[in-house]
A and B are shown apart, each in its own frame.
Chain A
Amino acid sequence: MKYLDEFRDAVLANRLLASLERRVSRPLRLMEFCGGHTHAILRSGLRQLLPSSVRLSSGPGCPVCVTASSDVDRAIALASQPGVILATFGDMVRVPGGNASGQANSLQEAKSLGADVRMVYSTLDALGIARVNPGLQVVFLGVGFETTAPTVAAAVLQAAAEGLTNFTVFSVHKLTPPATRAILDAGEVRLSGIIGPGHVTSIIGANAWEFLPRDYRMPCAVSGFEPLDILLAITSLVDMVTSGVPAVRNTYARSVRPEGNLIAQQWMRQVFQVVDAEWRGLGLVPASGLAMRTEYEAFDAARRFPLDLPPGREPKGCRCGDVLRGVVEPTQCPLFGRTCTPDRPVGPCMVSGEGACAAFLQYGES
């Protein structure tokens, strides 16, 4: 068992597609929350192979994309402070900000103007940078959902244990269930079911999605990322819609437990507190973000480097926000593939490896 090839069997996938075709009794619109699913669905060709009555919409599950432009501006301003090294995951460096006060408009641009911006693979690498640069302040830009937040909490706990005084986190972490609620409450898209994000749910547990059938009568199938996983999740959703009994089905049980990873949840609770957060595309979503607890304020970049920035503006003509809510498909944006390309992205949905616009362009959807 290697946990990959077994779930990529093309012959079986074709037969499961035939099975799905027979099960669908009426048109359905499903949302895959996670940008990783959007890419997997396009890369594997599933989008074209699914029965025409099953329509998929991508959701807000791209942490880089939903980071508010004002937060990108703050990160750029932090990186531009003297004596600061800003460390972050690679996806974040090309994301455009809101052009606050005419400063550089991405971390990459700030770097070209002399800011010390470093891409890291892990928060542990950022800690390593802090250890070997005691005279400089290392700010880690904490972007990501519940999958990533525990690893950032781990770095803060480690820094506290070592007594590091030159490591802080600028947390713009976000929580996925409140964003899902926000989309359903807005009622802009009529959905029949939700493909739940597999790796987020490894942390928060499948039980965390029980509010979907309970409060919205919305079926949810937590899915893995291989073609057979996604087909199984879609089949589960189709069956639940047909039976009229919505529930949470965990179709990724090899990685997801009902209760999730309790240590990860404990670390998150210890370091972060839940706050209202601004999402690109969704606006202010109640109780949807993670800020550092006061017990760890020594490691909170927002407190150590207070910044007063004017509000940013969204890039003109960019419909990334509508794409993130599933209201339009990337190809419906007038900038898509014309003025907005992966080489010259206008909005974050074209930058990120998980962005829906980048996926549609990369895999030739039109």
Chain B
Amino acid sequence: MCLAVPTQVVSLDGSMAEVDVGGVRRRISIGLTPQVRVGDYVLVHTGFAIEVLDEAEALETLRLFREMDEMTGLDNKFPEQVG
């Protein structure tokens, strides 16, 4: 029930917005996210945008993944080097 899907805002109309859900246009309320702009991605839950997705934070999380992966990569190489 707490399912919420990232969708892109296509147009704004007062307290409502049109979003693109896999090629299908849908009208949702932006009453909870009045700061949203066209082109932003929002989390849509039961017809409401509950949050605007933060691109800088998303990139930071992706950077964290790579950092963790690089640490693993170094670990993986270690046995080869000593072997």
Tell me the chain B residues, 46-83 only, with Cβ under 8 Å from chain A: 46-48, 50-51, 53-55, 57-62, 64-66, 68-69, 71-73, 75-76
A325–B50 Cα distance when bound, in Å, is 28
Closest chain-A Cβ to B44's Cβ sits at a distance in Å of 10
Closest chain-B Cβ to A16's Cβ sits at a distance in Å of 6
Tell me the chain A residues, 173-206 only, with Cβ under 8 Å from chain B: 197-200, 202-203
Known: A1-B41, A123-B46, A148-B46. A200 touches B2 (CB 8 A): yes
A154–B3 Cα distance when bound, in Å, is 18
A124, A232, A255: the one contacting B53 at CB < 8 Å is: A255
Known: A15-B73, A22-B75, A145-B1. A264 touches B50 (CB 8 A): yes
Contact A147 B32 (CB under 8 A): no
Contact A6 B62 (CB under 8 A): yes
Contacts of B41 in A (CB 8 A): 1-3
Q: Which of A64, A147, A200 has the most CB of B within 10 A?
A: A147
A62, A89, A202: the one contacting B51 at CB < 8 Å is: A202
Known: A18-B76, A148-B46, A150-B50. A61 touches B2 (CB 8 A): yes
A residues in contact (CB < 8 Å) with B:
1-4, 6-7, 9, 12, 15-16, 18-19, 22, 34-36, 61-64, 89, 91, 121-125, 143-145, 147-148, 150-151, 154, 197-200, 202-203, 228-229, 232, 235, 251-257, 261, 263-264, 267, 352-354
Closest 6 pairs (CB-CB, A-B): A122-B47, A19-B72, A3-B6, A254-B58, A253-B57, A147-B2
B residues in contact (CB < 8 Å) with A:
1-4, 6, 29, 31-34, 41, 43, 45-48, 50-51, 53-55, 57-62, 64-66, 68-69, 71-73, 75-76
Known: A2-B41, A150-B32, A199-B50. 16 other contacts (CB 8 A): A1-B41, A16-B68, A121-B47, A123-B46, A147-B1, A151-B29, A151-B45, A198-B2, A232-B64, A253-B60, A254-B58, A254-B61, A255-B51, A255-B54, A261-B33, A353-B3
